Structure formats: C-alpha cells, structure tokens
Structure 1
Amino acid sequence: MNFKVLSLGAVALAMMGSAALAAASGTSALDDPAKMSPFFTDAGMKTLRSEADFKTAWMAMKPDERTAVLKDCGDTTLNKAHAEFCAMAKKMGG
C-alpha cells in the first residue's frame, strides 16, 4: 500500500514539475530568437536594424505573431528588457 501511495505521489510531482517548466520556458514572443533575430543586426540581438528594415521584418511576421509581440510589449516587466524593440514595434502598429 505504501508503495502505491509513494508511486502516485511521485507521478503527481513529476506532472506538476512538467507543467511548471512549460509555463516558465520562454512563453514570450520577445524571448524567441527565431522570431526576434530579423529585427537585429547582431547575433547578440543588441542593435536594432534601421526603421525601414525593421518595418520589412515586422510586415513579414504573421498578424497573430505581431499581435503577440505587441501584447508582450504591453507587459511592464517584458517591456523593460526589450524597451527599444517595443518602442519600435509600437510605432509600427498592428
């Protein structure tokens, strides 16, 4: 009986841990290098492209991706880390 309880407890903990990892693992569009790299001139994603190049990259995104980025830019914490990008994205609009 104790073995069954311990086994069920271990399974429950594993499931909760998996859910927590999934929730914490880069759910922000702003933290997705594949989506963000076209907007920057360098691999470290520190220097934004020119406004014209930014607009080209912005318009190449799917509308739902642009919406997700703008939503993330509306988050105060995320915006702090990506302030320059978010300012340009808001300028481009939806």
Structure 2
Amino acid sequence: MGRKIACLAAATIALLAQQASADPFSDLAVLPTFYTDAAMKTMKPMAEFKKAWFAMPKRDRTKMTKACNDPAMSKPHAAFCANVLALGGAN
C-alpha cells in the first residue's frame, strides 16, 4: 500500500511540475477573451483588452508577462505581447 501511495505522489508531483512550466499561451480558454474573432486574428481595442487582462488571476498575468519578455515566446504573439507590455506588464 505504501508503494502505491509513493508512486501516486511522484506522478502527481511530475504532473504539477509539467503544468508549472507549460507555455502560458497554450491556455486557449483564456486567450479568446482578448480577441474579437474566433480565429484569434483581430485584437480587441485596448480598453477591452485591459478589462480582460485585469479579469485574469494575478499569477496568470505574471506568467504571461514573463513570456512576453522572452523574445522566443513573444514573437508568435507579437500583437498580444505589445498590449501586455504597453500596460507595463501590470500585475
């Protein structure tokens, strides 16, 4: 029984570590709130973007700000990151 618990605990820790390092842009449940279309090609105006930004949990805003400061991560999301950085990466 102890071995099963140890294995389960190790698997849980591995899954949590994987989630912590995941690409914050891969959360497609959050990103559509920043776009006007389903294809996520047209960004909402800054006022609406700002409202959606501050509706996100602080930890998610922090992760996205860090990703936008990384040139390799931000390049595919240039318009989004420009808005994030225009907000000063506000947390």
Unaligned stretches of 5+ residues in structure 1: 1-18
Residue 45 (structure 2) aligns with: 50
Paired with 1:39 and 1:51, the residues of 2 have a C-alpha distance of 9
Q: What does the per-residue CA deviation read over 1:10-50, in whole Å, with 9 as the maximum and x for residues that have no partner?
A: xxxxxxxxx8xx95xx9211121111110001111111000
RMSD (CA atoms): 1.8
Residue 12 (structure 1) aligns with: none
Aligned residues: 72
Residue 15 (structure 1) aligns with: none
Contact 1:39–1:54 under 8 Å retained in 2: yes
* 4+ aligned runs moved over 2 Å, structure 1: none
Paired with 2:52 and 2:83, the residues of 1 have a C-alpha distance of 12
- Counterpart amino acid of residue 79 in structure 2: E
1:63 aligns with 2:63: no
**TM-score, L = length of structure 1:** 0.69
Unaligned stretches of 5+ residues in structure 2: 1-13
Matches within 5 A, 1:5-84: 27-84=22-79
SS in 1 for 2:30: helix
Quick check: which has more Rg, 1 or 2?
Answer: 1
**TM-score, L = length of structure 2:** 0.71
In terms of fraction of residues, the more helix-rich structure is: 1
